[in-house]
Amino acid sequence: MLKLMILNGPNLNLLGTREPDQYGHETLADVESMCREAAVAYDYEVDFRQSNHEGVLVDWIHEAGQLLKRGELAGIVFNPGAYTHTSIALHDAIKGTNVPVIEVHISNVHNREAFRHHSYISPAAAGIVVGMGVYGYVLGIHGLAHKLG
């Protein structure tokens, strides 16, 4: 059984508590349930995590890289939160490990503030899902599985 890491960056633990117009009413626990349901079709073992700390996210990508090397990982579905727009470290971690990453954003970052229009993650990502609400995580799982054939 291949593992699927689903990583969430800063403040996503607040999902469902505020800003419903932007991020919807679902909590991160709801997102985890949706992901577990979607992953059944591919027999992926879901490892769902959230951190507010950039270095922790880097460490988790390295951990995913080790699993990939051992043939135990399908890839990562990753919502890097605001680190999307700032983190060369996360970009380098993805590049350095070669892990297939599907970047997910709940909101449409392109119809929001200009500072959200640029992503350091996108050039390193295998695919991107933007503006589809929390269903974007599910689309990310299907997209990753489809890419892996």
- Binding footprint of ligand CA2 on the chain (CB under 6 A): 11-12, 14-15, 17-19, 23, 79, 81-82, 84, 105-107, 109, 116
Report how far Cα 99 is from the mean position of its chain's Cα atoms: 12
Q: With contact defined as beta carbons under 8 Å apart, do 80 and 121 qualify? A: yes
Residue number with CB closer to ligand CA2 (41 or 115): 115
Least Å from the CB of residue 102 to ligand CA2: 13
The candidate with the shortest Cα–Cα distance to 90, out of 129, 51, 116, is 51
Residue number with CB closer to ligand CA2 (84 or 97): 84
CA-CA-CA-CA torsion for 108, 77, 92, 87, nearest 10 degrees? 40
- List 91, 105, 120, 137, catalytic entry: 105
The angle that helices 54-69 and 88-97 make with each other, rounded to 10 degrees, is 10
Least Å from the CB of residue 42 to ligand CA2: 23
Residue number with CB closer to ligand CA2 (46 or 132): 132
Q: With contact defined as beta carbons under 8 Å apart, do 50 and 29 qualify? A: no
Least Å from the CB of residue 12 to ligand CA2: 5
Active site residue 23: yes
What residues act catalytically? 23, 105
